[in-house]
């Protein structure tokens, strides 16, 4: 039963919104890191501030068609994005550093950003679907 709930139209919509978020956020992240010389974590955070803002509105109204209007929901969204970001990128950086031992730091961190984006996408879908924008009953399960 859970499989049918996860594999519905919201997943496809989430992925479409994710492509838009990725284009915006990734451009910000890689431009800051590679052209502006910003460190890893500030570049990653800027990605999720820009992409996250776009994501909030598109996922709220388009993907999950959520009608709730509350600061609590905004808080749940921010917590979801922050937790998913720190888990995904916190795992990605040391894992990629270990896998790419001997490769330059810049290449390792660029690769970690790509791996982190993939991990983040998976974690964030579940967080937004069932916590940030989930129906009242779904949030308690």
Quick: pLDDT tens for 6-30: 667 888 898 899 899 889 988 999 9
Q: Please, where are the H alpha helices in 31-127? A: 40-58, 71-99, 105-127
Q: What is the pTM of this model?
A: 0.76
Quick: pLDDT tens for 24-78: 988 999 999 999 999 988 998 898 899 889 989 999 999 888 888 899 999 999 9
Q: Pick the residue with more confidence: 1 or 56?
A: 56
Q: Cα(24)–Cα(51) distance, rounded to whole angstroms? A: 6
């Amino acid at each position: 039963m859970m499989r049918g709930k996860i594999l519905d139209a919201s997943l496809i919509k989430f992925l479409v919104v994710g492509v838009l978020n990725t284009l915006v956020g990734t451009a910000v992240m890689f431009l800051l890191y590679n052209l502006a010389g910003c460190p890893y974590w500030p570049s990653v955070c800027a990605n999720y501030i820009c992409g996250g803002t776009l994501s909030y509105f598109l996922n709220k109204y388009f993907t999950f068609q959520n009608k709730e209007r509350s600061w609590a929901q905004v808080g749940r969204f921010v917590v979801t994005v922050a937790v998913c970001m720190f888990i995904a990128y916190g795992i990605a950086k040391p894992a990629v550093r270990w896998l790419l031992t001997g490769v330059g730091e810049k290449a390792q961190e660029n690769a970690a950003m790509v791996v982190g984006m993939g991990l983040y996408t998976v974690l964030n879908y579940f967080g937004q679907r069932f916590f940030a924008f989930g129906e009242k009953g779904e949030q308690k399960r």
